[in-house]
C-alpha cells in the first residue's frame, strides 16, 4: 500500500498532466502529445487511488478494472471518428450514473456508521471511507449530505440527458424538439419537488428521499434534452461534458478525494467555457439552450425557389484546373464517407499544380468541436492551411472555387438571409460569395437540423451527387 503522502503527490502530478492535456488539445500540432499527457495522468490517478491506504476488495477491483479496460480497447478499435459525438455522450452518462450510485452508497455508509457509533462498537476493520465518516463532526456530516444531494442530482440529470443526446446523435431518436404538455413548468416543478425532498433529507428523512430526488432528476435530464433540437446537439454534448465534471467534483468532496475534485472542476469549467464559445459561434443563447430552448419561438422558414443542378466529376475537375484560389469546406458527410485521405490526396495534387488551397472549418463542423481538425490532421493535411471560420470568411468573395464536402447547416445562407429560419443569426461560412461552389453530397436530403439549404439552389452552385470518397478519388487523376 502507498502512503497518504505519496497518494497526495501522485494526485498533484496527475492534475498537472490533465491541465497540460487540456491546454495542448487547443493546438493541432500539440494534440497528440496532449493525449499522451492525459493517458499517463489517468494511469497515475487510477493506480495511486487503487493502491492508497485502507483500500481493499482487490478481488472485485482488479476484475472490474480489467473488464473496463477490455471494453475501452474494444470501443477504441470499433468506433469510427464519425461516431465520436455519440460515444462522448455515452461516456458522459457513465460518469453521471456513477455519481448517483456513489451518492446512494455514501448515505448508506453514513447511516451504518451512525448505527455503529450508537452501539459503541469499535471502528476497526471499516473501509477508509467509513473510517473517515466516523471521525466527522455533525457539521461535517451535514455538509456531506449536501454533497450527496448535489452529486446525485447533477449525476442523474447528466445520465438521462446523455442517453437522450446519444440517441439523437446516433439517429435513434428524432432530432426535432419534443416536450410534454406543460413544458418548462414540468422541469421547474420537478426541480422544486427535488429541493423540498432535499430539505426533508437534511432534517432526518430516510433514504427514500434520495431515491425520489434521483427519479426526479432522471426525468429532468430526459425532458430537458428531448426539448433541444438536433441543430443544438453539439452545444448539448459540451454542456453535458460540463455537467459530468461537476458531478465528478461533487463525488470528490463526498469521498474526500482531492484528485476527483480537481479533475471534476477542470472538466466542469472547461466544458462550460466550451459550451459558451459554441453558443456564441452558433448565435444561441447559452441559458436558453441549457434550459431546453426556454423562451424561444418557432418561426416559419421562407420557401425556396429553383432547382438543384447536378454536375459530374469532369465538370468539377475542369473548374479546379482553371482556378487559382480554392477553399475546401468539410463537414460530417466527409467523416461518414471516410473521405479525409482522398481529400488530402486532392489537396496535394492541387498544390503541386500551383493552386492556393485552404480549408474553412466551422466551430461545430462534424457535430463535435474540433472533429474536422482531427480528421484532417489524421490525413496529414498541413496545419497552416486549415483555417477557422473567422480567419477565412472574408476571403470567399475572392475565391474561384469552393468545394463543400458533406456540409449543410454550417454553409446555409438562410442563417443570414431568412429571419424565419430555425438557424437565423447563426454564423456560417459564406461559401455562396465565391465564383463557383461545388457541393459533394449523397442526395437531396436536408442537414442534421432538418431544414433545407438555399445554397443548393443558387446559380453559382452545382451538386456533385454520390459518395464523397468515391467522388474525390475520381477527381484526383483529372487534376493537371
| Backbone angle region of 292, left / alpha / beta, with phi > 0 → left and psi within -120 to 50 → alpha | left
Distance from C-alpha of 65 to C-alpha of 388, rounded to nearest angstrom: 40
Q: Are 429 and 329 in contact (CB under 8 A)?
A: yes
Q: What is the 3-state secondary structure (H, E, C) of 102-160?
A: HHHHHHHHHHHHHHHHHHCCCCCCCCHHHHHHHCCCHHHHHHHHHHHHHHHHHHHHHHH
Q: What is the pLDDT of residue 297?
A: 47
Q: What is the pLDDT of residue 79?
A: 76
> What's the length of the chain?
480
Distance from C-alpha of 29 to C-alpha of 8, rounded to nearest angstrom: 32
Residues 6+ apart with CB under 8 A from 256: 129, 132
3-class DSSP state of 298: coil
Distance from C-alpha of 322 to C-alpha of 317, rounded to nearest angstrom: 9
Q: Which of 289, 250, 294 is nearest to 148 (CA)?
A: 250
Question: Out of 107, 232, 394, 409, which one is annotated catalytic?
Answer: 409
Angstrom distances, CA of residue 155 to CA of 100, 245, 249, 375: 6, 9, 11, 31
Helix and strand numbers (H, E) in the chain are 18, 6
Q: What is the pLDDT of residue 444?
A: 65
For 420, list phi and psi in degrees, rounded to 5: -85, -5
- DSSP assignment letter at 320: H
Q: What is the pLDDT of residue 167?
A: 86
For 404, list phi and psi in degrees, rounded to 5: -100, 120
- DSSP assignment letter at 53: T
pLDDT (tens, 9 = 90+) of the chain, 480 residues, equals 778 788 888 888 998 998 888 877 766 667 778 888 989 999 998 888 888 776 777 888 889 889 988 988 888 788 776 677 778 888 888 889 999 999 999 888 888 888 877 776 666 666 667 777 777 888 888 888 898 999 999 999 999 998 988 888 777 877 677 778 877 788 889 999 999 999 999 998 889 999 999 999 999 999 888 887 766 777 788 788 888 888 888 888 888 888 888 888 988 888 888 888 777 766 777 776 666 554 444 455 556 767 889 999 999 999 999 999 999 999 888 888 889 999 999 999 999 999 999 999 988 777 666 778 778 888 889 888 999 898 999 999 999 999 999 888 889 998 888 887 777 778 899 999 999 999 998 876 655 556 778 999 999 999 999 999 999 999 999 998
Name 461's bridge partners.
437
Name 356's bridge partners.
325
Distance from C-alpha of 370 to C-alpha of 377, rounded to nearest angstrom: 10
Distance from C-alpha of 114 to C-alpha of 108, rounded to nearest angstrom: 10
Q: Are 268 and 285 in contact (CB under 8 A)?
A: no
Residue at grid coordinates 428524432:
174
Distance from C-alpha of 23 to C-alpha of 89, rounded to nearest angstrom: 22
Q: What is the pLDDT of residue 475?
A: 93
How far the first Cα of the chain sits from its last, in Å, is: 67
Q: What is the pLDDT of residue 294?
A: 46
Distance from C-alpha of 113 to C-alpha of 126, rounded to nearest angstrom: 9
Distance from C-alpha of 308 to C-alpha of 461, rounded to nearest angstrom: 8
Distance from C-alpha of 386 to C-alpha of 394, rounded to nearest angstrom: 15
289 burial (CB, 10 Å; 0-12 / 13-18 / 19+) is: buried
DSSP string, 402-462: EEEES--GGG-THHHH-TTSTTTT-----GGGSSEEEEEESSS---TT----GGGGSTTEE
Q: How many CA atoms lie within 13 A of 21 on its CB side?
A: 18
Distance from C-alpha of 357 to C-alpha of 346, rounded to nearest angstrom: 10
Q: Is there a catalytic annotation at residue 409?
A: yes
Instruction: Enter the C-alpha cell of residue 220.
Output: 429532468
Amino acid at each position: 500500500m502507498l502512503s497518504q503522502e505519496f497518494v497526495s503527490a501522485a494526485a498533484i502530478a496527475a492534475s498537472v498532466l490533465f491541465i497540460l492535456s487540456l491546454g495542448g488539445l487547443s493546438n493541432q500540432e500539440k494534440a497528440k502529445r496532449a493525449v499522451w499527457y492525459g493517458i499517463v495522468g489517468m494511469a497515475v490517478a487510477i493506480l495511486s487511488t487503487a493502491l492508497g491506504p485502507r483500500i481493499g476488495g482487490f478481488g472485485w477491483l482488479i476484475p472490474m478494472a480489467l473488464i473496463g479496460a477490455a471494453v475501452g480497447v474494444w470501443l477504441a478499435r470499433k468506433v469510427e471518428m464519425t461516431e465520436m459525438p455519440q460515444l462522448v455522450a455515452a461516456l458522459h452518462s457513465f460518469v453521471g450514473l456513477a455519481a448517483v450510485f456513489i451518492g446512494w452508497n455514501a448515505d448508506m455508509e453514513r447511516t451504518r456508521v451512525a448505527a455503529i457509533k450508537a452501539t459503541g462498537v469499535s471502528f476497526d476493520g471499516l473501509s477508509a471511507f467509513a473510517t473517515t465518516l466516523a471521525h466527522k463532526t455533525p457539521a461535517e456530516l451535514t455538509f456531506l449530505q449536501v454533497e450527496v444531494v448535489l452529486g446525485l442530482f447533477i449525476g442523474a440529470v447528466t445520465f438521462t440527458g446523455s442517453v437522450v443526446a446519444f440517441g439523437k446523435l446516433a439517429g435513434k431518436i428524432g432530432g426535432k424538439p419534443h416536450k410534454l404538455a406543460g413544458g418548462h413548468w414540468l422541469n421547474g416543478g420537478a426541480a422544486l419537488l427535488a429541493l423540498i425532498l432535499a430539505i426533508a433529507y437534511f432534517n432526518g428523512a430516510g433514504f427514500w428521499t434520495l431515491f425520489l430526488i434521483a427519479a426526479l432528476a432522471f426525468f429532468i435530464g430526459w425532458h430537458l434534452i428531448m426539448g433541444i433540437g438536433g441543430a443544438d446537439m453539439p452545444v448539448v454534448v459540451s454542456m453535458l461534458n460540463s455537467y459530468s465534471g461537476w458531478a465528478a467534483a461533487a463525488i470528490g468532496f463526498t469521498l474526500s478525494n482531492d484528485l476527483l475534485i480537481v479533475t471534476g472542476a477542470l472538466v466542469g469549467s472547461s466544458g462550460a467555457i466550451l459550451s459558451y464559445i459554441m453558443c456564441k459561434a452558433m448565435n444561441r443563447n447559452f441559458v436558453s439552450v441549457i434550459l431546453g430552448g426556454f423562451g424561444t419561438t418557432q418561426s416559419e422558414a421562407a420557401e425556396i425557389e429553383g432547382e438543384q443542378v447536378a454536375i459530374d466529376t469532369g465538370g468539377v475537375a475542369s473548374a479546379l484546373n482553371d482556378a487559382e484560389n480554392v477553399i475546401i469546406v468539410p463537414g460530417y458527410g466527409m467523416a461518414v464517407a471516410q473521405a479525409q485521405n482522398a481529400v488530402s490526396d486532392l489537396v496535394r495534387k492541387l498544390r503541386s499544380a500551383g493552386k492556393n488551397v485552404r480549408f474553412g472549418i466551422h466551430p461545430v463542423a462534424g457535430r463535435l468541436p474540433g472533429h474536422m481538425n482531427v480528421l484532417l490532421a489524421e490525413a496529414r493535411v498541413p496545419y497552416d492551411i486549415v483555417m477557422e471560420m473567422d480567419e477565412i470568411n472574408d476571403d470567399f468573395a475572392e475565391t474561384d472555387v469552393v468545394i463543400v464536402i458533406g456540409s449543410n447547416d454550417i454553409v446555409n445562407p438562410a442563417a443570414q438571409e431568412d429571419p424565419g429560419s430555425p438557424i437565423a443569426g447563426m454564423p456560417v461560412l459564406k461559401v455562396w460569395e465565391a465564383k463557383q461552389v461545388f457541393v459533394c453530397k449523397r442526395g437531396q436530403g436536408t442537414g442534421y437540423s432538418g431544414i433545407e439549404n438555399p445554397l443548393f439552389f443558387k446559380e453559382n452552385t452545382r451538386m456533385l451527387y454520390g459518395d464523397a470518397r468515391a467522388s474525390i478519388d475520381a477527381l484526383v487523376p483529372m487534376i493537371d
